[in-house]
Structure 1
Amino acid sequence: MSRGVGVTETIRSGVPEWTLEAFAGLSLLGDLLVIVPVLGLLYIVDVGQSLFRDDREGPLCSTQTALLIAAVFGGLALVVLLKATFALPRPPAAWHALEPSEHGFPSGHTMAATVFWGALVLWSSIGRRSSRFAVSSAVVVLVALSRLALGVHYLVDVLASIAFGVVYLGGIAWLARERPLRAFGVAVAVAVVAVAVTGGSSRALLALVGTVGGGSGWWLLERPPVRQRLVSTVGPLLR
């Protein structure tokens, strides 16, 4: 039985051509081009608030934001690992409304959206958790639907991607136990395995650089001498 169980073809054939750009835009909610800059912005805002408060004892980056960043980087590395492990084909090229990467299972955009927006539910303080859950769920569904409408994934691909993302978030939350260093350790481990499984593909190496760089940068800036120097030199400029 096809992984699409007839759904992908039905959706793709029923979607008007003029809506494809909108679906491509929705896909960006699970794209690295959006996720990575947003993570950077969240980090900068968090650190900026610490510097503004002249907090010389607490961390520059809150535990919640550090956990969020580590979990997302690890999740992006897991996407690379799973795609290489399964290496399943995409739907027929005639269905594609855009040029996709090689493998079709799992859906990278859908899984990345699940991990990123799910991490916001777990480790963000914006609004109530129930509200964050509702918004995040809607975004993930829209990203999954967009991948079907663009003809680059089967139904099973996006459903499995959501499941993978949810299980991963539960696993890293349990392993990290509110300790960012553990979370970054898990992320780096996943990236290392991805490099080994893919034979050092560019995507896997990029994931490894991201996880190691993110973890190392966080650890370095949280060292007391560095943190205190930043608070005393940069903090006054923000106040």
Structure 2
Amino acid sequence: MAQPGRGLGVPDALGGLFDEVGVVVLAALTQLGDVWFMSVLAGGLYLASTRPGNPLARRRGAFVLALPIVYVVTVPALKGVFALPRPPDAGVAATISWLPSLLTPVFENAATAEGYGFPSGHALGTTLVWGGVALATDYRTWRFRLGVAGAAVVAVSFSRLALGVHYLVDVIAGVAIGAVLLLALYWFADRGTDPGRALLVAVAIGLVGVLNGISFDSVAAFGVAAGAWFAWYALVDRAPATPRTSAMAAVSVVTLALAGVLFLALYVSVPPTPVTAIGSAVAAAAIVAAPDLGERVVSAVSSGRDHTRTG
């Protein structure tokens, strides 16, 4: 059932403004708020925050890493509560005549959406994660970081409207909820220095999602939250590692990449529920503990070599 009142006429007004090239650009812009992109962004910043001599930066990096996890557990829960539909043609992609057939499925996936539409998950997630990056990092000035975050939120929100996958009210609500959630998490996590608290919030929300309905998405989201929270408290919280050599950093990067491959394998194969839960938890734990694993693996190998030489 269409609900044009939620759009206030904006999606209809934007629908005919863009040609084929414009629609492809919109589909690319909307990826700035997609969970895969924000996970890569947060994961990269998390690894970058492990530079030696600054454990506080590692904690703030972990806070940023927690934000896309909060995003993936929160959005399905909210959409299930409101259960409001998307615009009628949200699942229909525009025909791009010059697009190679190999890229057509990629474009269709980026330019369409299914399921409930309120609030906009992309608008909420972009506000939460990009806003969190602005709050928790110290790159250049606060105004510059806020400007970049604001530009990302505007670009993603506009792309969702222009692609016809959301109504205006969906996007406004997504931005508002994302901003409130970010500020609450930032305060609860002691200005981003206690990421374990943000991860604990993700576990609680994820558990509610599983209790509301067991599905691949809800189980995978809960597994990610639980694995990340456990790894932080069990392996990292008391003494966050700061890899001191290129070998340690390389092991950390490889660990992060392998965790990403595991996530992809789970997403493609959609295994039974127990496998989904365990696999998601292991992958998330590996990401959180990647810098610490890098330090421990290289240290263990070096100690073994030294022992062999002295023996």
TM-score range, shorter chain: 0.7 to 0.9
> What is the aligned partner in structure 2 of residue 182 from structure 1?
197
Residues 235 and 118 (structure 1), Cα distance of their counterparts in 2 relative to 1, 3 Å cut: farther
Contact between 2:72 and 2:221, CA under 8 Å: does it hold in 1? yes
CA deviation string 1:185-227 (max 9, x = no partner):
1111111112223x02222222212211222223333266895
Shift of 1:43: 2.1
Residues 146 and 231 (structure 1), Cα distance of their counterparts in 2 relative to 1, 3 Å cut: same
> What is the aligned partner in structure 2 of residue 131 from structure 1?
144
Runs of 5+ unmatched residues, structure 1: none
Residue 88 (structure 2) pairs with residue 92 (structure 1): yes
Deviates more, 1:81-90 or 1:161-170: 81-90
Residue 105 (structure 2) pairs with residue 102 (structure 1): no
Question: Which residue identity lines up with residue 24 of structure 1 in the other structure?
Answer: A
> What is the aligned partner in structure 2 of residue 194 from structure 1?
209
Shift of 1:78: 0.9
Q: Secondary structure at the match of 2:139?
A: coil
Residues 216 and 92 (structure 1), Cα distance of their counterparts in 2 relative to 1, 3 Å cut: same
Residues 128 and 19 (structure 1), Cα distance of their counterparts in 2 relative to 1, 3 Å cut: same
Q: Secondary structure at the match of 1:14?
A: coil
Q: 2:153 aligns with which of 116, 140, 151?
A: 140
Contact between 1:77 and 1:208, CA under 8 Å: does it hold in 2? yes
Aligned partners of 1:79, 1:94: CA distance in 2, in Å?
18
TM-score normalized by the length of structure 1: 0.85
TM-score normalized by the length of structure 2: 0.67
Shift of 1:76: 2.6
Shift of 1:232: 6.8
1:1-239 alignment to 2 at 5 Å?
A: 2-47=5-50, 49-50=51-52, 58=55, 62-93=58-89, 96-97=92-93, 98-177=111-190, 178-197=193-212, 199-222=213-236, 227=241, 231=295, 234=298
Contact between 2:32 and 2:38, CA under 8 Å: does it hold in 1? yes
Deviates more, 1:154-163 or 1:176-185: 176-185
Q: Secondary structure at the match of 1:101?
A: coil
Shift of 1:89: 0.5
CA deviation string 1:100-157 (max 9, x = no partner):
1211111111111111101101111222111100110011000000001111100001
Question: Which residue identity lines up with residue 120 of structure 2 in the other structure?
Answer: S
Q: Secondary structure at the match of 1:62?
A: helix
Residues 18 and 215 (structure 1), Cα distance of their counterparts in 2 relative to 1, 3 Å cut: same
Residues 86 and 220 (structure 1), Cα distance of their counterparts in 2 relative to 1, 3 Å cut: same
Contact between 1:95 and 1:151, CA under 8 Å: does it hold in 2? no
Rg: which structure is higher? 2
Contact between 2:134 and 2:146, CA under 8 Å: does it hold in 1? yes
Aligned partners of 1:225, 1:125: CA distance in 2, in Å?
22
Question: Which residue identity lines up with residue 150 of structure 1 in the other structure?
Answer: L
Contact between 2:91 and 2:114, CA under 8 Å: does it hold in 1? no
Question: Which residue identity lines up with residue 7 of structure 1 in the other structure?
Answer: V
Aligned partners of 1:8, 1:229: CA distance in 2, in Å?
48
Residues 101 and 95 (structure 1), Cα distance of their counterparts in 2 relative to 1, 3 Å cut: closer
Counting matched residue pairs gives: 229
Runs of 5+ unmatched residues, structure 2: 94-110, 242-291, 302-311
Contact between 1:64 and 1:123, CA under 8 Å: does it hold in 2? yes
Question: Which residue identity lines up with residue 44 of structure 2 in the other structure?
Answer: L
Identity %: 34
Residues 6 and 126 (structure 1), Cα distance of their counterparts in 2 relative to 1, 3 Å cut: same
Question: Which residue identity lines up with residue 207 of structure 2 in the other structure?
Answer: V
Question: Which residue identity lines up with residue 220 of structure 2 in the other structure?
Answer: L
Task: Select the structure with the greater relative contact order (CA < 8 A; seq sep ≥ 6).
Answer: 1
